[in-house]
A and B are shown apart, each in its own frame.
Chain A
């Protein structure tokens, strides 16, 4: 909410407040050192590292396939996408040398899209649910969690885990779809679309919620690019960029990815790139993901007995290549729910990576906090944090 009262026009004493690392609205263990001038934030300096688990160092200690479970823990809200990013990167490294080239079976590629987009749905549900919960609306969060449980059930049947899947592997996926999975997923999507209409009536169209977010912390497109915002946060500022469409990996190039961008959805008080735009872009992306899952289900080739089959198999054999991968480096960008998940992988030709670097969306999103939170109201801090959908292990790794 814009205001004529600024830090400069008001004098007086400043109060220092410490928000976090334990605070329910910081989505984990983010710490903000806030300096307020009355109700207005004069300064908010983020402090990170409370969940720095040295995952990048672990990448240098373990063998290539052993790192996949750690990618789950980089972003556990969308572990499938995190798995996928690393596996796509290693496959790209293997493909830089024809001797170690790997051909991921088509069925595996389709399954990857299905699980990644389903996970995107469940991740965005947590994001929008948690943001509305931060703003005092507890019920939408419960609706989101209820739908997420169904996705978790599907994943659990698929790979035995509810949260950290370790499902996408280098060269394919760990298991084929279980019997009846297609019908289950379709049934979920049908029910889910109806549920989303209710969800939108409940919170998205809610005047109180919309006015609370409208015009808060609007980011211009130029700022969004300069501060390295990615994913829905970037698109919320009206920048039309989605890696799935513009630099496709896997078989995204065969799917029609439509990219919703922010356009000041909040109406009269709204501005392009405000908190409400970021919120709505996520909801629109959920609809897109539903469509992509349906498209991928249609493309799914019939399964065959042989698991390495180029069409109906689900896992290429890469064990031999991974003992002696090509020497060199690659960089891959993928579109995770929290924006670009990019890997820089350096290989010295041995069975362990030389360097694994994971670039995540939440880390760079935090770099704009200090600029963004100057001059906003105290109560809007949680709105801003919620609208960025940060996940702390993604910041700290």
Chain B
């Protein structure tokens, strides 16, 4: 440690060398440049918009909206997903490049929210189609809650290892390039129960412990539920 006040921070030659692993360096870069997909379906989309607005300004977290999934790292599922929309969400998620993360924003995307009981067309939770990393409660969540969720996600991104062992289930990768092994027992690991999208059907009787639904998501304290 340099004595504060003697030199400007970073000017000391000792401070200009930082020893780290390639993996940690890459994770640090990923964590600070979470480009998110501009994807909003319903009410939460307005809060997502306002989070990107001048007051909450998520740009300062390195989060920049991207219109195309191919340039996005993060998909914030903002709003209700209906049965008709769900397969499109899956397509979008498949178009994103690995590593990719999903934040489910709001009650509708989490569990169907106010539509879960009486609606015939709403999917009760987007995690039936794609694996979700962070769930944010609220209808809609406040921008503060969304930022809190993003901070929780950043914890996960920090643990992501590009070259070493993966934090995520490799089966989520289509085409079988799971060269780096699988670690289903790790804390917080999640992924769909099966590789092929056609085999994604998860009926009520599916007791597989590794369905996305029963994965252990990061806990987030959100706004009013």
Which residues of A does B touch, CB under 8 Å?
21-24, 28-29, 49-54, 57-58, 61-62, 69-70, 72-73, 76-77, 126, 142, 145-146, 148-149, 152, 160-164, 392-393
Are B67 and A24 in touch, CB under 8 angstroms?
yes
Q: For the complex, what is the distance from the CA of A21 to the CA of B42, rounded to whole Å?
A: 12
Are A54 and B85 in touch, CB under 8 angstroms?
no
Given contacts A22-B92, A146-B53, are A53 and B119 in contact (CB under 8 A)?
Answer: yes
Are A49 and B84 in touch, CB under 8 angstroms?
yes
Contacts A22-B39, A164-B139 aside, 5 further interface pairs with beta carbons under 8 A come to A50-B84, A61-B118, A142-B53, A163-B47, A393-B42
In the complex, the 8 A-B pairs of residues with the closest C-beta atoms, listed nearest first: A145-B53, A76-B43, A61-B118, A54-B119, A58-B118, A50-B85, A24-B67, A146-B54
A-B pairs with beta carbons under 8 Å apart, 5 shown: A22-B69, A54-B118, A57-B119, A69-B114, A162-B47
Are B50 and A149 in touch, CB under 8 angstroms?
yes
Which residues of chain B come closer than 8 Å to A51, judged between CB atoms?
41-42, 79-80, 82, 85
Q: For the complex, what is the distance from the CA of A146 to the CA of B140, rounded to whole Å?
A: 19
Q: For the complex, what is the distance from the CA of A54 to the CA of B82, rounded to whole Å?
A: 10
Given contacts A51-B80, A145-B50, are A163 and B119 in contact (CB under 8 A)?
Answer: no
Residue of A nearest to B69 (CB): A22
Most B C-beta atoms less than 10 A away, residue of A29, A70, A160: A29
A286 to chain B, nearest CB (A): 18
B20 to chain A, nearest CB (A): 36
Are A392 and B41 in touch, CB under 8 angstroms?
yes
Q: For the complex, what is the distance from the CA of A29 to the CA of B41, rounded to whole Å?
A: 6
Asked whether any CB of chain A lies closer than 8 Å to the CB of B156, the reply is no
Q: For the complex, what is the distance from the CA of A145 to the CA of B54, rounded to whole Å?
A: 7
Please give the number of chain B residues whose Cβ is less than 8 angstroms from any Cβ of chain A in the complex: 34
Residue of B nearest to A145 (CB): B53
Which residues of B does A touch, CB under 8 Å?
38-43, 45-47, 49-50, 53-55, 67, 69, 79-80, 82, 84-85, 88, 92, 114-115, 118-122, 139-140, 142, 224
Residue of A nearest to B112 (CB): A53
Q: For the complex, what is the distance from the CA of A23 to the CA of B54, rounded to whole Å?
A: 23
Among A23, A53, A393, the residue within 8 A (CB) of B121 is: A53
Which residues of chain B come closer than 8 Å to A49, judged between CB atoms?
82, 84
Among A28, A52, A61, A160, the residue within 8 A (CB) of B82 is: A52
Are B115 and A53 in touch, CB under 8 angstroms?
yes
Are A54 and B115 in touch, CB under 8 angstroms?
yes
Which residues of chain B come closer than 8 Å to A58, judged between CB atoms?
115, 118-119
Are B46 and A76 in touch, CB under 8 angstroms?
yes
Which residues of chain A come closer than 8 Å to B122, judged between CB atoms?
53-54
Q: For the complex, what is the distance from the CA of A72 to the CA of B139, rounded to whole Å?
A: 11
A86 to chain B, nearest CB (A): 15
Are B88 and A21 in touch, CB under 8 angstroms?
yes
B47 to chain A, nearest CB (A): 6
Are B82 and A50 in touch, CB under 8 angstroms?
yes
Q: For the complex, what is the distance from the CA of A146 to the CA of B84, rounded to whole Å?
A: 34
Are B41 and A28 in touch, CB under 8 angstroms?
yes
B26 to chain A, nearest CB (A): 28
Among B43, B54, B88, B121, the residue within 8 A (CB) of A52 is: B121
Given contacts A50-B85, A52-B82, are A163 and B43 in contact (CB under 8 A)?
Answer: yes
Q: For the complex, what is the distance from the CA of A52 to the CA of B84, rounded to whole Å?
A: 8
B208 to chain A, nearest CB (A): 29
Among B54, B67, B80, B85, the residue within 8 A (CB) of A142 is: B54
Residue of B nearest to A76 (CB): B43
Which residues of chain B come closer than 8 Å to A62, judged between CB atoms?
118
Are B39 and A146 in touch, CB under 8 angstroms?
no
